[in-house]
Structure formats: C-alpha cells, structure tokens
Chain A
C-alpha cells in the first residue's frame, strides 16, 4: 500500500515455554492505510493479541521475533529501544484500547488522576507553569469525556473505576487512548465484554471518532459482523498466518481462501445450516512448514503441507494465501 501508516511484513514470532518453542506467528502480513480502519479477524488463539503486543512491544518473556518488519509512520518499531518506545510511540503516537474495560483501569485511583497522569507523560510541554498545564489538561480531558458521551464528566473525574458501568468504562478507556491525540489507535476486542446494545453504541462512537480525528485504527476481533460494520479493510488470520486480506466488502462478497469461506459459512446470519469447521486449530508447538489450515481444508492438495506461505494478489488489493490462487510464475520461483 502506497500510504500505509502501519505495515507488518512477513512477521514470524515464537514463544519459548516449558513445552518447547511455540511458533505463534508464521507469516503475518498486512498494511493499514492512513485514515482507514483495518479489522484483524481470527479465532481465539490464532495470535491476534500477540500481533498487538508485537506492535507495541510488550511481548511476554520468552517471545522472539524471528523474521519480518513492523513499520509505523516511518519508524521500524522492532529496532526502537524501550525508552524511545515509551516516550515517543506508546501512548503518544499509538493509542491502545485494551480488551476488557472492567480491568483496564487501576482500581485504587480516581479516574481523573489516571487520565491526568497520561496527559502529564505525553502532552507536549508548552511553557505554561505547572498549574496552567494542569488546568489545560483538565479542560482537554473534560472535552474528551464529553466527546465520548460520558454523562457528568466533571463528576466522573472524582469517581473510581468500579463506580462506572461497563459501557461507561469503555468510553473512559477510549478517552484515555485518545487523550494524547495519537495517529494510530489499536483496539483489542473492545466490545467483546459488553452487551449487544452497548456494543453497538461503542462501535458507532469509534467510527465517528476515527472520522473526526482522522485516526487510523487497527481493530482486532473475532466477530465478522463487527468488522462488516466498522472496518474499511479486513485481514483474516488463521493459526498465526495471514490467509486473506483486502477491502471488507470485497472479501466478504467474494471470499477466496477456504478458511474465510468456512468462517463465513459458520456465521448464523449467512448460513442456512450451521456447519462449523471440522477439526481443531493446530498446536503451534509442532506446525508443518506449509499452510496451517491444510489439515482441516476440504480442498487441500499434497503440496499444501510444503508450500511456504506467501500472499498473491489479483491487482485489486485483494490478497490471498492459498495454492489455488498462486500465479504460475510464483510457483515456479
């Protein structure tokens, strides 16, 4: 993509544990265009959260990036040191909306204290005195809380996280992510812990905010319905491999990868009979060299187990990683 704010290319990552080395990510490849919303879709355990952690550099102990690049707005994130990440990237240029708003705020501090703290770290020093800056930060936070439609913003600053409902807390967390006007917001299943009506409100809010602030957003979810509503682009992950990506409408209308098609067939709205996908997600401990979906794929061929994953495109930006769409010259090389 010509003007991508975030580009993840051929990312491979393994985590060493007690049972051996798990190849959690194997060929993750996507690009997020400036001002667009990209949905990363996959089942539980396919490596969605690990991708996020790799991007903001908070990988668990034992994790190792084996290959690939992560470029954000001109910076190679994998090459930056912890100090630079903390001062220039995390929180300041990349906002992060964690999965469960019930647990994302520190329970022992008032909400206002926590939001002010974020502002203090990251907001630029504008020469105003300590008091003037605090005053301006407060104004800024109140404006944000009003914008995310939190009732009674002034009162909210004086309350503790447990005194808010789930939806309100998600609004708080969104406000916290936007507090330092980042260029990119990463949302890790932000609506999973909410009930359906609240979920809808939060999705609408996120869409409006993205447009209003000119945000680029990486939206991670397991819910294709949410992606269809919110995202411009879509990237489907299976067991740590990017299997298909492209414009949301295009991919949903003409899914190519057998996994994407099977996934869509599982969606109750789209399927007449509930089919499911036979088999289980493979263990990342001893994966094959080839396509990880092959053991469950109804269209698998002999070569699938050996073919190194790579995405081929048809020129429209709809890319798929499957032997059935390999162009002849790609196979030859």
Chain B
C-alpha cells in the first residue's frame, strides 16, 4: 500500500493514469457514447466540411461525417492495435531474453546478436518496409510493429536475467532440485517483470504513434475505418481551410501517447531499483 500512496503523490503519473483509464472507457463504450455511431460508413454530403458547432463539436469531414464520433470510435482501434502489438512483442521478446540471459554459449550469442541487428534499424523504417512487403492492411501493420518492437523486451529481460542468474536464491533452488525451466519461468521471470511492465506501458503509447504514422502513410488502416492517422491523411487536401479536420484526431493521438508515457514514467519511478533499495 506504500506503493499506492507513493504513486498517488506523483501528479504527472496520476494524470497519465486518468488519461489511460479515460481512453479505456471510451474504447469500451465508444459506440454508445458517440453521438453519431453510424458515421463510420455513412456519408451526409450536404453537411460536408462544417466547422465545429454545437451539433458537431469537432466539425465534419469531406463526407459530412461527425469527426467527434469518429475520434471516439477510433479509440478502440488504436488501443486494440497498441495492446496486440505490445502483447505479441512481449510474447516474443521476453522468452528470448530469459533464454539468452540464463544460458551461456552460442544460443545466447545468436539471440542477442539478432536482437542487436533489429535494434540498430530504425523501427519506423523497418515497420514500413515490412508492411509494404506484405499486403497493406491493419493486420500487417500490427505484425510489422510487433516484429520491430520485441528486441526492446529481449534486451531488457536479458539484462535482468543476467543479474538474477547469479543470485543466491537460484543456487538454492538448484540445490533443492528445481529444473531449469522452473527456475527461469517461475522464479526469475516474476523478479524481472516490473521493468517489462514499465516498458510495455511506454510501448503502448509509442505504438499508437507509430500505428498512426503507418495509417497516415497508407500502409495501415484502410478507409472507411475511423483510424486517427488515416483521418489526418485524408484531411491533407482540405487544409488549411478545414483546420478542425486534422486538428482533433491529431489531438487524440497526442493525448493518448502522452497518457501512456506519463503513466509509464511514473511506474518506472516506482520500480526503479535505486529507489527500491532506499525504501
């Protein structure tokens, strides 16, 4: 409970948490909150490109759809992409890090050198190349993002596992007959999980951003999905007159990424080993 108190005193982290919870609520209940839930596919050409008003708080787009509704409806997609990507990346990266960290020899070397190669390439470039190579769709974008994000988890878990491998409790476990798999997954993994959670939280925000970029560049979500990045891409032809068209989806991206980053930073401060030692 000490941890909870400490977290509640951290104002930026708290703001992050509020934003994340808010985004989750919107993602789950979006179709009921949005004033015009049908505007994913509908078009009302008579009211196209209307500026923000009481009826359309964020204005309307080139097909007369309510941007406010589309931003709300896009939240679910953004979070789904982020969660799936980070989950897949962690599912690949964490076991690899554990194996590379616990074993010595060629396998560990191979895993870490491959990780280094992936890390040395800019993530966006790699994701773009992969997404372009496969047929552009939301699924391939997610796959490309996951395939470029796992090395971060591997590096992190590798370092933690290397540290814990020499811990005396691992010796003690070996001494009482624990097998390698049990030691690694049941005892070392729980010790290494806090930095993974921090990394995953920051990764969620980052993935939302990169997914929006892929959508903007046309290798991610496809019309008429209410994807934030895609919406900004569509708005380019109507700038600067229809300023609201790009502004509000962009603002949604900004707030979501900011929320996850603040929360991640706050969590990192909580589990930072240096802070933990002084407690």
A and B associate in one complex: yes
A residues sitting closer than 8 Å to B (CB atoms) are 56, 58, 61, 85-87, 89-92, 95-96, 98-100, 103-109, 118, 121-122, 173, 176-177, 186
User: Whose C-beta in chain A lies nearest to the C-beta of B187?
Assistant: A106
Asked whether B177 lies within 8 Å of A91 as measured between CB atoms, the reply is yes
Asked whether A105 lies within 8 Å of B171 as measured between CB atoms, the reply is no
Least CB distance, B182 to chain A, in whole angstroms: 9
Which A residues touch B175, using CB under 8 A? Answer: 56, 58, 90-91, 96, 98, 186
Which A residues touch B167, using CB under 8 A? Answer: 103
Asked whether A89 lies within 8 Å of B168 as measured between CB atoms, the reply is no
Asked whether A105 lies within 8 Å of B169 as measured between CB atoms, the reply is yes
**Whole-angstrom CA separation of A242 from B40 in the bound complex:** 83
Which B residues touch A107, using CB under 8 A? Answer: 169, 191
Secondary structure dominating the interface of B: helix
Least CB distance, A100 to chain B, in whole angstroms: 6
Least CB distance, A268 to chain B, in whole angstroms: 30
Given contacts A108-B190, A109-B190, contact A89 B177 (CB under 8 A): yes
Within 8 A of A (CB), among B120-173: 167-169, 171-173
Given contacts A98-B172, A99-B168, contact A121 B190 (CB under 8 A): no
Which A residues touch B178, using CB under 8 A? Answer: 86, 91, 121
Asked whether B177 lies within 8 Å of A104 as measured between CB atoms, the reply is no
Total residues of chain B contacting the partner, CB 8 A:
17
Asked whether B169 lies within 8 Å of A104 as measured between CB atoms, the reply is yes
Q: Does B3 contact A (CB under 8 A)?
A: no
Having A92-B177, A118-B176, one finds 16 other A-B pairs with CB under 8 Å, namely: A56-B174, A61-B104, A90-B177, A91-B176, A91-B178, A96-B172, A98-B175, A100-B168, A104-B168, A104-B171, A107-B169, A121-B176, A121-B178, A173-B172, A177-B176, A186-B175
**Whole-angstrom CA separation of A56 from B176 in the bound complex:** 9
Q: Does B240 contact A (CB under 8 A)?
A: no
Least CB distance, A83 to chain B, in whole angstroms: 8
Least CB distance, A219 to chain B, in whole angstroms: 15
User: Whose C-beta in chain B lies nearest to the C-beta of A176?
Assistant: B176
Least CB distance, B106 to chain A, in whole angstroms: 13
Which B residues touch A105, using CB under 8 A? Answer: 169, 172
Which B residues touch A122, using CB under 8 A? Answer: 176-177
**Whole-angstrom CA separation of A90 from B174 in the bound complex:** 8
**Whole-angstrom CA separation of A61 from B176 in the bound complex:** 19
**Whole-angstrom CA separation of A90 from B177 in the bound complex:** 5
Asked whether B177 lies within 8 Å of A108 as measured between CB atoms, the reply is no
Which B residues touch A95, using CB under 8 A? Answer: 176
User: 1/0 contact trace for B179-200 toward A, CB 8 Å?
Assistant: 1000000010011000000000
User: Whose C-beta in chain B lies nearest to the C-beta of A49?
Assistant: B171
Asked whether B177 lies within 8 Å of A85 as measured between CB atoms, the reply is yes
Q: Which 9 A/B pairs are nearest by Cβ-Cβ distance? A: A91-B176, A96-B175, A90-B177, A91-B177, A103-B168, A86-B177, A58-B174, A98-B172, A104-B172
Which of B168, B173, B175 is the most central at the interface, judged by chain A CB atoms within 10 Å of its CB?
Answer: B175
Which A residues touch B187, using CB under 8 A? Answer: 106, 109
**Whole-angstrom CA separation of A61 from B175 in the bound complex:** 16
Name 19 interchain pairs, CB-CB below 8 A, sorted by A.
Answer: A56-B174, A86-B177, A86-B178, A87-B177, A90-B175, A91-B176, A91-B177, A96-B176, A98-B171, A98-B175, A103-B167, A103-B168, A104-B168, A104-B169, A104-B171, A106-B169, A121-B178, A122-B176, A122-B177
